[in-house]
Amino acid sequence: MAQEPFQVYAADHARLAMAVVAGLRAGDGDGPREPGLAEQLVASCQGSDTAIGVGGAWAPLVLGNGDLWRYDQAVGIWRRIPSHDVRREVMRLSSVAVTVTKTGKAAPLIITSALMEAVVKMVEVMAERVDFDEARPGIACANGFVDLTGDAVVLRKPRADDYARHVAGWTYEAAAPAPRWDAFLADVWQGAKDAVERQRFLECFLGACLAGQAWHHARAVILLGDGANGKSVLCDVVAGMFPPGSVCSVAPHAMAERFRATSLVGAKLNLVADMPVGELKESGSLKQIVAGDPIEIEKKFKDSFVFRPTCGHIFSTNRLPMATDHSRGFLRRWVVLKFGRNFEGSGINREQLVRSIAAETPAIVARCAEAYMRARGYVIPPSSEEEMDEWRLDNDQVLAFLDEHYERIPPPHTDDEHFPETIRAIYGLYRPWAINHGHRPCQIRTLSRRVGEIVPWKRTDQGRVFALRFSKRS
């Protein structure tokens, strides 16, 4: 085969990379030659067994979330093409291609670093742009695509426009029983008044994660309890429900770090089996990520891009962390599932228990998918609200002070008598209380703002007054 401006003797597997070289080749400074040659060769490319030509019949490359992808028709998912695979293909040109000089003589095609980067960039420019954040709700598995877009679960053949990037090894089995799963959850939540509500919430939440829809509900789950209580078993079972490569582990404390959020790209579940208990000093990134707000992130040595985090979040911990954010926007993100039993010394073989429950994975997945399809939302267990109330008091010294010293006056708040307490009187009690409890007292202006976020208030000649009365308990 002979083409100008260079001659190539190569198999089809290298033609796409060589076409990009032909389209960008700058020669010795005269600029690109034959700008249409790249497109002609791309159109004639018929696939290969290499990274650039994954999977049989030729399919176009696409660019999404900062990476190149190619659709694998045999499996029904999009596979990422690492940039080093593109570079490896270009390096093959040094042994199979020659270039024609100005004098008409043939010379070896030298792959310089500048040419290498130009090739990689050109491949990205020629690729079609796609938005993987708009992937169809569903799960790619061994026997098809579980479509969760309609009113009922549908198992069908996968399509490229599903934009699935991971495939599970299990087969979908609708309405199959999961007795070990049920028995395990009943055991760990034995004695809890809302044990049934906890299981229903958990299954609905996992169904939303599997469907890639958890971000719509903007909730993160905390598994709370001391060791040997079933949390780690649940984490292992849940991780096995998801397709390989779709589970990441980014702690809330790390979400603001420069490159850590890139792990969330393409993930369906962010599972942290041992969340740090250090203070959560920065919550802005956490709130954005849990709510699925578009964020700009950067992969190392690549341009930044904007993506929408769509995964659900499960954080396992022995105790709830301290947090400096006391806003409703932060607190309403959480659902706490308490694990109060202790199985230490029970003789239970943990690994065997995980394997026995994991054997029901197809049935558990079907249960979760169908639970989410029925509910399309979460019903929060009452015990979670109780745990959150305790967490608020532990985190918020102002709320703890008010709870100890004052009673809130119920509405309607129409007369002056409904606002009997001035901020100066409140501060006079608060400052010594904070010091005695080992807190650093805040300034009176900060206290006024914080109390105003908790109870109704109005402005008078005495400053702010609040709908509070001194408690008889104190």
Q: What integer pLDDT is reported at residue 462 of this predicted model?
A: 83
| Residue 144: partners with Cβ closer than 8 Å, 6 or more residues away | 76, 155, 156, 157, 158, 172
Over range 69-93, report the average pLDDT: 81
Q: What is the pLDDT of residues 257-290, one digit of tens each?
A: 888 889 999 999 999 999 988 888 888 999 999 9
- Of the pLDDT bands very low, low, confident and very high (cuts 50, 70, 90), residue 103 is low
Task: Label residue 338 by pLDDT band (50, 70, 90).
Answer: very high
**Segment holding 328, helix H or strand E:** helix 328-331
Characterize the bridge pairing of strands 77-81 and 154-156.
Answer: unpaired
Helices (H), 338-468: 350-358, 361-375, 382-395, 397-405, 423-436, 444-454
Percent of the chain with pLDDT over 70: 81
Name the 3-class secondary structure at 136. Answer: coil
Q: What is the pLDDT of residue 23?
A: 36
Between 60 and 346, the more confident residue is 346
Instruction: Quickly state the pLDDT bin for 49 (edges 50, 70, 90).
Output: very low
Local confidence band at 16 (pLDDT 50, 70, 90 cut-offs): very low
d(CA 84, CA 127): 17
User: So what's the pLDDT on residue 107?
Assistant: 62
User: Residue 324 pLDDT more than 50?
Assistant: yes
Q: Which residues contact residue 394 at a Cβ distance below 8 angstroms, ignoring those fewer than 6 apart?
A: 320, 322, 400
At residue 384 the predicted structure's pLDDT band, cuts being 50, 70 and 90, is: very high
Q: In this structure, are residues 282 and 304 in contact, taking their beta carbons and an 8 Å threshold?
A: no
Backbone angles phi, psi at 41, to 5 degrees: -70, -35
* Mean per-residue pLDDT over the chain, rounded: 83
